[in-house]
Amino acid sequence: MADIFGPAPEPPTELGRLRVLSKTAGIRVSPLILGGMSIGDAWSGAMGSMNKERAFELLDAFYEAGGNFIDTANNYQNEQSEAWIGEWMVSRKLRDQIVIATKFTTDYKKYEVGGGKSA
């Protein structure tokens, strides 16, 4: 039986040495954030592509090395980045262990979102 009052186990890598994100939030994040701009294949003509299997392998490796902080945005890979990261978290049952930093880009698809008006 593990001693609940003993020291925390050592992280698998330095990536697992979590830091407090904010004094007022109490959220602990990895020292490096994984950028999600390349997760997806919608922009394959402009910046290469990464299929879902490869994206999940990348996310698994990041998490297994101790990472828990992922950056994405609604416009990355035409929304695939956010969707695939979400699917990965659900499939691995990691939602409570991952911190997502995301952004919303106004007029991202102005022909669909408000016809060119800011959100």
Give yes or no for a contact between 41 and 49, defined as CB atoms under 8 angstroms apart: yes
| Better-scored residue on pLDDT, 112 or 86 | 86
Confidence of residue 33 (pLDDT cuts 50, 70, 90): very high
> What is the Cα–Cα distance from 99 to 93, expressed in whole angstroms?
13
Q: Which residues lie below 8 Å from residue 53, measured CB to CB, with a gap of 6+?
A: none
In the predicted model, is pLDDT for residue 27 greater than 70?
yes
> What is the Cα–Cα distance from 86 to 94, expressed in whole angstroms?
10
Q: Which residues lie below 8 Å from residue 48, measured CB to CB, with a gap of 6+?
A: 38
Confidence of residue 64 (pLDDT cuts 50, 70, 90): very high
Average pLDDT in the 59-81 region? Answer: 95
pLDDT of 45 reads 86
Confidence of residue 65 (pLDDT cuts 50, 70, 90): very high
Average pLDDT in the 33-42 region? Answer: 95
pLDDT of 7 reads 87
Q: What is the pTM of this model?
A: 0.82
In the predicted model, is pLDDT for residue 118 greater than 60?
no
SS percent in the chain: helix, strand, coil, step 5: 35, 10, 50
Known catalytic residues are 76
